[in-house]
Amino acid sequence: MNTYEEILIDKYKAKGILIDANLALLYLVGNFDLRLVGDGKFNKLSNYKTDDYRLLLRLKNRFKKAVTTPHVLTEVSNLTNDLPEQTKAKCLKKFYETFVKIDELTISSMEAAQRPEFHFLGLTDCALAHVSRQFLIVTDDARLTKKMNESGLEALNFNHLRRHLLSA
């Protein structure tokens, strides 16, 4: 199988993967309590199933290393605000344990904001664009993928992987 997705994975597997905020939230919450994924109670993960979490783990494990940015981690932390307080507190305790194994790249906000894509991508996504030649950006944000591709940058849309597996 030589799909575009496979070509991207092969191109970056020795370099590394950077998982965007929504999928990083799936990774965190799935590591914390897989029952919260797709249960309909946590709105931010209502579009995911436990199979998506497992697919994300398999994908991540294909890469030599995983990286992230402070921007992504901030968004993940903020996205946990929809959890009930007690669950959120326990989940945020798991935050460190989950992300300590992932290298954190520091891209200053001013450096990201100087990118030509800033006016249509915003800060977090520009930080991703900044490192997209070094690491494979994996997102479920179709708009981000489209805008990056239009700018000559590569990103893998997780939804394409999901669809590919469903049709296989």
Which domains are seen in the chain, by residue range?
4-167 (3.40.50.1010)
Burial class (CB in 10 A: 0-12, 13-18, 19+), 137: buried
For residue range 89-111, what is the model confidence (pLDDT) as tens digits?
999 999 999 999 899 999 999 99
Strands of the sheet with 103-104, listed across from one edge: 103-104, 66-68, 17-19, 136-139, 155-157
* CB contact at 8 A, 148 and 154: yes
Cα angle 32, 33, 38 (rounded to 5 degrees) comes to: 125
DSSP state letters, 76-114 = HHHHGGGS-HHHHHHHHHHHHHHHTTSEEP---HHHHHT
Residue 2 confidence (pLDDT) above 60:
no
What's the chain's average pLDDT? 91
Side-chain-side CA neighbours of residue 113 (13 Å): 3
Q: What is the pLDDT averaged over residues 113-142? A: 94
pLDDT attached to residue 1: 41
Cα angle 52, 147, 152 (rounded to 5 degrees) comes to: 105
For residue range 54-85, what is the model confidence (pLDDT) as tens digits?
999 999 999 999 999 999 999 999 999 988 88
Output phi, psi for 66, to 5 deg.
-120, 140
Comparing C-alpha atoms, which of 87, 164, 30 is closest to residue 38? 30
How many whole angstroms separate alpha carbon 117 and alpha carbon 122? 8
Q: What is the pLDDT averaged over residues 122-146? A: 95
Residue 152 confidence (pLDDT) above 80:
yes
